Structure 1
Amino acid sequence: MTDQPVFIVGSDLQALEPATFETEEEFQELLARHPRVLDFGSLADGRPLRLVLVAREMGVPTSAESGPAYWLDHLFVDADAVPTLVEVKRASDTRIRREVVGQMLDYAANGARYWPGALLQRSFEETCLADGRPLEEAYAELLGDRSPEDFWPLVEERLAAGQMRLLFVADRIPLELRAIVEFLNRQMRQTDVYAVELTQYRGDGDLRVLVPRIHGEVATAAKSPSGRRTAQRTTRDDMDAAIRCRLAPEPRRIATELLKHAAAKGRLEGGTAKYPSMSFHYPVAGRQVPLWTLSLYDNPAKEELAFSFGSITHHLGPGRAAAFAESLPAVPELQQKLEVQRQKGYNGWPSVTLTSLAAEPGAAEVILAAIEQLMDGGGAPNSFG
């Protein structure tokens, strides 16, 4: 059927013939300019889904210290803060059958771990700037009267919890890819996986018709009602209980002191991952800035304190980020990662275990002093913040 023309009836009958996309670049540009062709389904409150482009060729690192190792074709987001990762292939590309699946899972796994909310916000705003679109207009369409400062940390949390969509887009979806998509969609509870077959028909001049066909929706509908947006956030009681049960005395003391300080001076926000986690926002230069995240991983068991340098750099500029890095404790595990950040422009998530901090006398107190210094540092953030 896809080889048959479609017809437009007006003053006369015009046939539009099936046409391939001449290049993958043409295909990608079409989706970036017209994401409506990928809008299917609805938001949590029943409103129609509307995807908004965060970035084309979104870099995907494979560690907190490295630059991009891969490049995702498109990253979109919706008003529920659910990210949508898109890979585009023409049917003539043999990678559309199986290789693209491994690529996408690489992007999703590493993006979930190494895309801080501040990086996503900066990418979105740079995309708007490049497209000549005023930020106020773009945010009004995406968020209404909600604040970007609340929205992007939520996107980061969705990613960390695996709450995302993965879209394989092609002009023809082979049966092998369709079977894989439906299998993944049945097995993955937090992540929705779809294949979108976008058939193009061309007529006279610039006239063309795009017909999307979605594969995977049946598997999505069959998922249990415990789906993505009902994930429970870690509460302060949850985190306190996990700290008491899991940590040795000195790491427990450090975690408790950090939590008490954040509760007194800033704002705690529970994560939605399967393991206990919380992020901590502090008032700096008139805005709430995410500074660090505490995660107590289950498998393998590990406790990790990660500093959100991407957020600090975005909101306060590289100078303030560098000063904050210099004031952190001289723990070898942390200092090695900070050195990489100095070379990379302070855009990653250097982390340190509480066990390593416990081995350095006074490390917790140095961290708290560094936070206080950042809060009291004065000065306006850079113009891009």
Structure 2
Amino acid sequence: MNQIFYTGQEQALTLSPIRAQCERQELQELLLSNPDCLPGHQIDPDDPRQWLPIATEFQVNDPTGKPRWSIDYICADQDAVLTLVECKRFADARTRREVVAQVMEYAANIETLFNAELILGHAESMAAQKGGTLASIMAGWGTSSAAYAGRLNANIEGGKIRLVFFVDEAPWELKQMVRFMKRAMPNIDTVLVEALQYALNDGRIVIPQVFGYVAPMAPPSKQATKDTRWNDGKFTEAMDEPIKSAVLKLVAHAKRMGLGVGYGRGAKGTVQLTLPIVSSRPMFAIQTDGELQAMTHTLVKSDFAFEAREHIEERFRYSLGLPVHTGTEERPLIYGFEEWSEHSDLLANLITELVDEYC
């Protein structure tokens, strides 16, 4: 977790990150009182999701009629996509194991667990608790309860649902599993939301962030072509926050430590970091979309280079907690921005270690 700095008129205040201690009180109730902690504008930037709260701690039976599951939070969006949310704390070991199996069971049994009549009955009760009506919500979305019910049933029968992991901080194992689920189950919208929390006086600040979300790229007029020759200015201009800040900070540190910095050519800009005394080829490469490549597969032509390779792979595996190839796979280590950005300070330390060790 990163720190947040709040600046007032007199002095700057550092907000300390905290982790949830109780799923029900801190995560479920957070969603109940603030449904937009599921950031609809990040889940679908082109058509931000709006939410119909349905239930918390929803008890459901298995196909035999026996009590089986308790779903932490249920809602649906304006397109009648049922959204099942599982809340877990970082400190809960189940975040890494049982929670994925649990939501997979929900998905596998969705047609036997839910129908529009059941869902909208609970939604009506939830709306009444907040002084509203289901009909007024539907009217605000330009539809009716009957039409919405038909779309709900069609989506459920077609397996079109959304599964959300809502956590205070996600371990990298969960991120890897979500990445796999998104590829393997394209009909199911799998979303990981980190609700980062910071203490402020007697309250807290909550910053929800969808894993993998990056602000929209520059408009087409700024996009590069396959013949683009990149330089520092073009590379910087092609990035958006938060990628730009993290990448430029790491590149600036590499320059201070004496690494060679160069730029590639092509539609996607790349900055290349080289430590010539170890290898004439780039050791690290970072693209404008934030992808980081560690070129350890090229560090094999001398004992010196091979030692550096082992050093980098050891740090990636044990200090940064990132997966590393096993065996003799001759390809770079590749990580998305969301995987390495939270470890950017450790990456800077690794560059310092390499310079101290080999220069």
After TM superposition, the score normalised by the length of structure 1 is: 0.51
Residue 81 of structure 2 corresponds to which residue in structure 1?
A: 82
| RMSD (Å), alpha carbons | 2.3
8 Å Cα contact 1:113/1:160 also seen in 2: no
Cα offset, 1:212, TM superposition: 2.1
1:58 matched to 2:58? The reply is yes
What are the ranges of 5 or more consecutive residues in structure 1 without an aligned counterpart? 219-385
Residue 115 of structure 2 corresponds to which residue in structure 1?
A: 116
- 1:56–1:114 CA distance, 2 compared to 1 (3 A): same
Residue 5 of structure 1 corresponds to which residue in structure 2?
A: 3
Give the Cα separation in 2 of the matches to 1:140 and 1:68. 35
Q: Any idea what SS the aligned residue of 2:40 has?
A: coil
Residue 90 of structure 2 corresponds to which residue in structure 1?
A: 91
Give the Cα separation in 2 of the matches to 1:89 and 1:44. 23
Residue 159 of structure 1 corresponds to which residue in structure 2?
A: 156
Residue 170 of structure 1 corresponds to which residue in structure 2?
A: 167
- 1:202–1:137 CA distance, 2 compared to 1 (3 A): farther
Instruction: Note the alpha carbon deviations across 1:186-234, whole angstroms, 9 max, x for none.
Output: 011211112211110111133x22122322569xxxxxxxxxxxxxxxx
1:41-56 aligned within 5 A: 41=41, 46-56=46-56
Q: Any idea what SS the aligned residue of 2:183 has?
A: helix
Cα offset, 1:86, TM superposition: 0.4
Paired-residue identity, %: 32
- 1:108–1:164 CA distance, 2 compared to 1 (3 A): same
1:290-301 aligned within 5 A: none
Give the Cα separation in 2 of the matches to 1:106 and 1:182. 18
Instruction: Note the alpha carbon deviations across 1:10-58, whole angstroms, 9 max, x for none.
Output: 3232322111223111211001211212123479894321122111122
Task: Specify which of 181, 185, 207 is matched with residue 188 of structure 1.
Answer: 185
- 1:163–1:104 CA distance, 2 compared to 1 (3 A): same
1:184-223 aligned within 5 A: 184-206=181-203, 208-215=204-211
What are the ranges of 5 or more consecutive residues in structure 2 without an aligned counterpart? 215-359
Amino acid at match of 1:108: A
Give the Cα separation in 2 of the matches to 1:200 and 1:168. 16
Equivalenced residues, count: 212
Give the Cα separation in 1 of the matches to 2:158 and 2:59. 20
After TM superposition, the score normalised by the length of structure 2 is: 0.55
- 1:98–1:217 CA distance, 2 compared to 1 (3 A): farther
1:167-316 aligned within 5 A: 167-206=164-203, 208-215=204-211
